[in-house]
Amino acid sequence: MITLEDVRKAARLIEETVIRTPLVRSPTFSRMVEAEVYLKLECLQMGGSFKVRGATYKVLSRRGDIGPAGVVAASAGNHAQGVALAAKAAGLPATIVMPVWASIGKQEATRGYGAEVILAGESLAESISVAQDMAEEGGRTFIHPYDDEEIITGQATIGLEILEDLPDPDVVIVPIGGGGLIGGIASAIKAIRPETRVVGVQAAACPSALMALREGKRACVDAEKSIADGITVKQVGETNFPIIREKVDDIVLVEEEEIASAVLALLERKKLLAEGAGAVPLAALLNSKVKVPKGGKVVLVISGGNLDPPLLERVIRQGLMKNGRIMRFSACIQDVPGSLARLLDLIAKEGGNVLSIHHARGGKDLSLFASRVDLEVETRSFDQIEEIKEALKAAGYEIRVRR
């Protein structure tokens, strides 16, 4: 188990290298849940996530043991950038093995921090195996993304900062993947203020930590694709599991639509870009997955902000659909001048804003004298969607709503 002195030692060692991220109160989210909601903004950390904390402590604390070949790690994103930054700060070479499907943006960001990037492995597990072989054969020091005591201790400095800025939180909500982040934060929180509840959040697509707690042992689960790819880890870490079992009060699951809505809420309400994994604490809070006392103080650890632009576009769109902010439908209209204008005028009168339109003639289910219009309309709410549907129906249009 990690002691409070271990965490304080780590904080002193990394304080000149990593950013002390802000803890900010959100009036909007506080009103929504009738509690005092604070956000720990690790999305503003160097490299865009908390990962640089553990990597920096690992590298600096073991600096004398690391040879001239430097360090090697495996990651699809955040850990890669954290290790690259840590190695650069220590003046060491870094080699990062990334799965062949790793996004180009994250590859380039890792190279930009000075690391050599090698694409190898169809899965993160295969990439880790390649990196471990390179460590054994080439004299490099391997840095595991989460299953390592020094990595966990580095992440624990977040818990220390939270309590320095807010001494009496009732609940701290943390994402869980391999368990290094929550293991560290829970170790620090419980050592100083044991009455604070620490709650972990996983994507329902990959509930490995929850299954491990239920079964009393580490379980390897089948993972589905998730927009919270940073916490899609099939088996919680061996070093982390005993800490989670002893110090984490509860683990809850959130669905993909809930995560997308949370990403959108952070972007719209707080102007913060959070990746899916970073938004799961808010998803859990807004969907009543975590019990918070009325008027109580809750801290959400927004663990990272590295969301690729193509995925961001899809996440925003899904979040808008979930919140009734986009209506998609098809309508058949007469193929005569003015028909399309009348349809668009009706939508405008109901306050809808047409985002896209596709006008098609022909098709086995269409009359020779009709055409189909596919529309995407920006709306305020589900109530407005129903109002538009009723107005279209009253005007004689038969529509087919699409998701």
The tens digit of pLDDT for each residue in 136-176 reads: 988 899 999 999 999 999 999 999 999 999 999 999 999 99
CATH assignment of 52-143, given 3.40.50.1100, 3.40.50.300, 3.10.20.600, 3.30.470.10?
Answer: 3.40.50.1100
Q: Where are the domains of the chain?
A: 4-49+149-320, 52-143, 324-402
* pTM for this predicted structure: 0.88
Same fold, 4-49+149-320 and 52-143: yes
Rounded Cα distance between 341 and 362, Å, is 20
- Phi then psi dihedrals of residue 366, to 5 deg: -115, 145
Q: Which residues pair with 118 in a beta bridge?
A: 97
* Six-digit token string for 377: 């309309």
Do residues 97 and 110 touch, judged by C-beta distance below 8 A?
no
What's the pLDDT band for 292 if we cut at 50, 70, 90? Answer: very high
- Within 8 A by CB and 6+ apart from 246, the residues are 1
- H/E stretch holding 55 reads helix 51-61
pLDDT tens profile 60-89: 999 989 999 999 999 988 999 999 999 999
* Six-digit token string for 356: 């896209």
In the prediction, which pLDDT does 219 show? 84
- Look at the block and give the residue holding tokens 């290094």: 180
Closest CA to 145 of 155, 160, 135, 134: 155
Return the higher-pLDDT residue of 332 and 302.
302
The amino acid occupying position 364 is: K
| Model confidence at 344: pLDDT above 90 | yes
Return the higher-pLDDT residue of 316 and 265.
265
Fold of 324-402: Alpha-Beta Plaits (3.30.70)
Rounded Cα distance between 386 and 372, Å, is 21
Fold of 4-49+149-320: Rossmann fold (3.40.50)
What's the pLDDT band for 363 if we cut at 50, 70, 90? Answer: low
Rounded Cα distance between 246 and 183, Å, is 10
In order of 225, 231, 249, the CA distances from 206 in angstroms are 8, 8, 19
Closest CA to 86 of 132, 130, 111, 54: 54
* Six-digit token string for 309: 């632009």
Q: What's the mean per-residue pLDDT of the chain?
A: 93
